[in-house]
Each structure stands twice: as C-alpha cells, then as structure tokens.
Amino acid sequence: MDKITLRNFRCFREEQAARVAPLTLLVGENSTGKTSFMAMIRALWDVAYRNRVPDFKEKPYDLGSFDEIVYNRSDKNGRENIFEAGFDSTNIGGGLKHRTSNETQTYHFNVTFRKDGTAPVPMRRRLASGKLWIEESLESEDQCRELRIGTERGSWDIPVDPAVQYSPLYTPNYLVWPLFIFLPEIGNRAIPLNGSKEITKKDIKQLHDFCDTNIGKPAMAKRPYASAPVRSKPRRTYDPALPSSDPEGDYIPMYLADMSLRHEKEWKVLKNNLENFGQDSGLFDEITVKHLGKTLGSPFQLQIRKFEGRRKGPWRNLIDVGYGVSQILPLIAELLSQDMPPLILLQQPEVHLHPSARASLGSLFCQVAAPNHQLIVETHSDYILDRVRMEVRDNNVPLKPEDVSILFFERRAQDVCIHSLGLDKEGNISGDVPPNYRNFFMEESQRLWGL
C-alpha cells in the first residue's frame, strides 16, 4: 500500500489522504485516531484480498458498532449514513505489476460501508488502474447486485441473472472473480453507459488481463499481523499447544520451542538474530528453550542470560527477569521470523522498554522494513523516531529517506487531520510540517532541559 484514504470514518470527517511507506510511523496525541487508522488498513486488506466482511471488533482493535465508527457530526444532522476508505498501490498483485508502455501502473481500490443491523458492511467497491476499472455493489433491501466495468473506450453495465445465488462481497475468492464468470458472455450482455460504444473483444481482453495479472493470487496472500499494545504475561513453564498467531503473542513461546526441536537450521538463524537484538538493546545476551523432555509434547521453559564482562551469567527463567523482555519478545520474534507477513501493524511497541531498548527497536524497524515487508508503527517514543532518523541519515540501513513516512495526527476541534511528513537526506523532518508538530516536541525538550 502506498496511500490510505478515509472519509466519514471515526474522527476523520473530511477526506484524509496519508502516504504509507515501507516504514510508517504514526505519531500524535492520544485519541487522535492512530489505532483506528491501523484497524482500517486491516479491514481494507480483508475486503480487497480476502473478499470478506471485516470485523471491526476483532482483536486487537474494537471500534464498536456502525454508529460508533461512522463520523458523528455532534449537531442536528447527527451521524453520516456511510463511510469510505481506500488505498493506492503499485503492488496489488502480490508482487506482480501490471505495466502499460513499460510504466508501472498505480491501482486505486475504494470501498464504501453501510449499516447492516449494528455492523458496518461493504456496499460498494471499486478497483481502477488508468482507464480500466471494475465496480460492484450490493444493496441492502433485496441483495440486488450491480456490476459495472470500464476501459478507455467507454463503460458498461453487466446485468446479473437473479438466479445466480452468490454474493461476491461475502464470498472468499478473487477480488473481481465475478468477471471470470461473466467475461465469456459480456459481449452479449454489456449495456453501454454514458454514450459508450458497443463492447468489443479488445475491451474484454483488456479487462481479462487486468483481472488475471493483478488479482490472480492476492486472496491467498498472508494476512497482516496486528499486535496488541500489551503482550501476554510470561509463564514459568509452558505446555505445548498448536502455535496460532494472536495479537498478544501467546503463540510465540510454542513457535520458538517448535523451531528449536524440529527446524535446527532455521532456529540457529532466528536465535542468532534474537540475540543480536538482545545485545544491542541491553535486554539479554543469550536466549534458549529448555525442554523438560525429549519430545515436542513435553513442557518447556524460555530462559535468557546476560554476560557480566567476560563471564556468562546464570540462565534465568523469562518470568524472573524484567517485564520488558517478555513484552518485546513476541514482537521481535515476529519481525525476525522467516514467515513474517508482508504487512505488520504495531501498537506502542516501546511499552515497558527503557530508552536504550526503544532506540534499538527503531534500528530493528529500519533493518526489517522493505518494499515487500511493510511496517506501520504507532508510537509515542521520540527515541524510536530519532533512531530511525539517524539510521537513514548515516546510511546504516537499506532504507532511503523516501522509504520512511511519518504521519502526524493533529486534533482540530471534533476532527483530526493527518499530515504526511517524511525525511530528507540529513534525517530532518520534511514536508508541510504543522506548527503543532514542532511545538509538541519542542515543549517536551524544554521540559526535559528544565526551561
């Protein structure tokens, strides 16, 4: 994703457009919509790639019912009837890029939500690239569905046989999979709109290539990982269980135990990377899984130790060391895993970490973030932000200034405005920096200096 748009969503009344990059940092005061922003990113992914109705109450986000999600004017006009969101991308096809005249195309995806009972559900969605577009809608009363398409030659309405018993917005499959059903007979069923000409085989081929090249496999892509701001509490001894991803990181101990027993080569790499971060952050020097038996079904413990100069200290159970270690371990294990999903959403990863560890976390973000591994991080830590700026400035990481986006969420009465900022080659904040952004950090610095 390269850009996120929002309108009538939570505290965002006017349309907001926010640039996202391989590493995107969300900063601003509390209750300015940063968590809601991340929840919408996951919802957009669900609608676009999984073809499912998103659950806005799914952990770690709970945005409530439709009335709590749609923008409330707080006047006699009350709440809006719909809210909208969308994203732009040049990589919507899971690594495949649709090209015209050897130029990479930008894809625009947009979805409109309406109220169904108490929940928000998609009522219309549209995918476009250049002059090629597809739009489908599902009305509320009689589930009447509309499908419209367009090319550079015009636009057409595709009547849907009422006897066809499916609802594409609710069926996991391709984003525009109905076109694969209708393409063979579109020539006979397409009704020209707005004075368009009759549809031709060339139009149909363009649409087919548009669908097949860019929407062929996204439904199978790995879902974004979203972390909770507070992770699971450590245990002295863990009982084996099936490792299944969760926002609190409960599955990470079992994941590490499984790796250490069944994937020796991969475990060695992961263990080394975990220890590199532990040493850089000062949290620990070594980590191990102590199995209390010889099989995968045996209980186990997680242990770490620190070095005391040239001497290695004793192994200590995870529950007997600082709380920050158990809180950060699920996140760094996820980031360093070979199975890391292409999009990760992190809420306040700095919780319970001392300043040095927070700065090290900023370095880790810079090392992990890449075009195929996108990190979106909500943070209140200037240590993370400053470390990112220094790493980019000093060319210590592959990230370039344009690979970092800083989104500043500014409250304006009942609304919130998102400012898309960036970095220059010197690590300075660039873009249209609002006074409130500079004032916030200046006030914090003056307070620190006792001025």
Q: What is the CA radius of gyration of the chain?
A: 25
Looking at residue 371, its pLDDT comes to 84
Q: Please name the residues in contact with 55: beta carbons below 8 A apart, sequence gap of 6 or more.
A: none
Range in 79-88, 242-251, 310-319 with the lowest mean pLDDT: 242-251
Q: Given pLDDT bands bounded at 50, 70 and 90, which one contains residue 343? A: very high
Looking at residue 52, its pLDDT comes to 81
Q: Rounded to the nearest 10 degrees, how much is the dihedral formed by the CA atoms of 350, 356, 357, 361?
A: 80
Of the CA atoms within 13 Å of residue 211, those in its CB half-sphere come to 22
Report for 6-10, 113-117, 127-131: range of highest mean pLDDT:
6-10
Q: Given pLDDT bands bounded at 50, 70 and 90, which one contains residue 329? A: very high
Looking at residue 361, its pLDDT comes to 95
Q: What angle do CA 8, 346, 6 make, to 5 degrees?
A: 15
Checking if the pLDDT of 168 tops 70, the result is: no
Give the full edge-to-edge strand order of the sheet including 316-317.
286-291, 300-305, 316-317
Looking at residue 190, its pLDDT comes to 84
Checking if the pLDDT of 86 tops 50, the result is: yes
* Closest to 346 measured CA to CA, from 35, 21, 48: 35
The length of the chain is 451
Q: pLDDT tens across 261-317, in order?
A: 889 999 999 999 999 999 999 999 999 999 998 777 889 999 999 998 778 889 999
Looking at residue 442, its pLDDT comes to 59
Q: Given pLDDT bands bounded at 50, 70 and 90, which one contains residue 170? A: very low
Looking at residue 139, its pLDDT comes to 60
Checking if the pLDDT of 94 tops 50, the result is: no
**In Å, what is the CA distance from 52 to each residue of 43, 71, 271, 314, 385?**
9, 23, 37, 50, 35
Higher-confidence residue of 48 and 170: namely 48
CA–CA separation, 25 vs 205, rounded Å? 41
- Tell me if 133 sits within 8 A of 149, measured CB to CB: yes
Q: pLDDT tens across 400-416, in order?
A: 999 999 999 999 888 99
Q: What percent of the chain has pLDDT over 90?
A: 49
Average pLDDT, the chain: 83
Looking at residue 232, its pLDDT comes to 83
Q: Given pLDDT bands bounded at 50, 70 and 90, which one contains residue 446? A: low
Give the full edge-to-edge strand order of the sheet including 343-347.
225-226, 343-347, 374-378, 23-28, 404-412, 415-423, 429-430
Q: pLDDT tens across 195-241, in order?
A: 888 888 888 888 877 766 544 344 446 889 999 988 888 999 998 87
Neighbours of 105 (CB within 10 A): 19
* Closest to 134 measured CA to CA, from 147, 143, 124: 147
Looking at residue 9, its pLDDT comes to 95
Range in 8-17, 178-187, 276-285 with the lowest mean pLDDT: 178-187
Looking at residue 203, its pLDDT comes to 87
Q: pLDDT tens across 37-71, in order?
A: 999 999 999 888 777 889 999 999 999 999 999 99
Looking at residue 125, its pLDDT comes to 87
Looking at residue 388, its pLDDT comes to 95
Phi, psi of 303 (to 5 degrees): -130, 150
- Tell me if 111 sits within 8 A of 54, measured CB to CB: no
Higher-confidence residue of 206 and 357: namely 357
Pairing of strands 191-193, 225-226: unpaired
